[in-house]
Structure 1
Amino acid sequence: MEYIPGPRSLSEHPDRFLNCQEAIADAFRQLAEQEVMAGWGEIEVAGALADISDFHLLSLASNLETERMIEQAIKERREIMSDRYPDTLDGRYFVVRGRLWRKSDPALDEATRNRLVTDLMSARRAVRGAKGDPDAIAKARHLVDDAKVALGERGAPWWEDGAPDYNRHMAKNTPYAEWFANRGK
């Protein structure tokens, strides 16, 4: 395939779209000629290329819409979760049935956090799949613990102010007791 030059202008430049058309025109004509030489009719080739272009545009638009819908669903889920499982004011814990659970380290970048959450989910599936095999269960539970430690949910606290860790404590038995008792009032 023929070399296609890169952009000659910034993304905001009014001629950028025209420059893109000029950059791919020769390769486009070459592809069309190859198809005609292979035995396809010129109208068939032009229609096929137009359809491929349309499908590609629809795919891009669909991907953008899907991403928007996913972001909206995540936002709504977080809102539901924050109402159902409130976060402490310092952001260190969330509360489930009155018990504090340490949150992931907020200093983790998104890619690392996502990878560790994927590892955690895989390890939890391994625990479920290992029923009846004590060695496999122990190994899978170790993987769960490794992922939770890497996320900051277990092990040494991720905060550095020297405050004690109240992970898994009942909120009413911690310095968060007053906050927990008064939330929603």
Structure 2
Amino acid sequence: MPSDVLTRFFERLKFIRWAKIYPPDVPSNDPDRFLRCQDALHLEFAALVDRAVAAGWRADEVLTTIIELADNHALMLAARPSSKKSRLALQPQP
């Protein structure tokens, strides 16, 4: 792999690693809130996938693992006795 490609890759990772996750800028009942959350998390998500692939994992393995981790985390949040707010957040929104 040419060194300029590697340099650009690591520069991109450095930028993404310090990318800010912006807080919500709309109320919790705004119909675009879910899309705004995706926008806020996209760079960090892409950076995580890029780092895992750079470490040698296949992209399909990484994505499947992230889905499994997200599912397990959602189940954990829903199971907490004191997490009524979390359980409500996991319910489908109209």
1:31 aligns with 2:48: yes
Greater RCO, CA 8 A, separation 6+: 2
Alignment deviations for residues 84-140 of structure 1 (CA, whole Å, 9 cap, x no partner): xxxxxxxxxxxxxxxxxxxxxxxxxxxxxxxxxxxxxxxxxxxxxxxxxxxxxxxxx
Structure 2 alignment gaps of length 5 or more: 1-16, 84-94
Instruction: Report the RMSD for the aligned CA atoms in angstroms.
Output: 1.4
Which whole-Å CA distance do the structure 2 matches of 1:49 and 1:67 have between them? Answer: 25
Tell me by how many angstroms 1:11 deviates. 1.1
The residue type equivalent to 2:76 in the other structure is: S
Task: Give the TM-score normalised by structure 2.
Answer: 0.65
Could you say which residue in structure 1 is the equivalent of 2:13? none
Could you say which residue in structure 2 is the equivalent of 1:43? 60
1:67 aligns with 2:88: no
Could you say which residue in structure 2 is the equivalent of 1:16? 33
Which consecutive segments of 4 or more residues in structure 1 shift more than 6 A?
Answer: none
Tell me by how many angstroms 1:10 deviates. 0.9
Which whole-Å CA distance do the structure 1 matches of 2:82 and 2:21 have between them? Answer: 29
Task: Give the TM-score normalised by structure 1.
Answer: 0.34
Counting strand residues as a fraction of each chain, which structure ranks higher? Answer: 1
Sequence identity, in percent?
36
Counting helix residues as a fraction of each chain, which structure ranks higher? Answer: 2
**Selected match of 2:75 from 58, 82, 87:** 58
Where in structure 2 are the equivalents of 1:25-174 lying within 5 Å? 25-63=42-80, 66-67=81-82
Could you say which residue in structure 2 is the equivalent of 1:179? none
Which whole-Å CA distance do the structure 2 matches of 1:67 and 1:4 have between them? Answer: 26
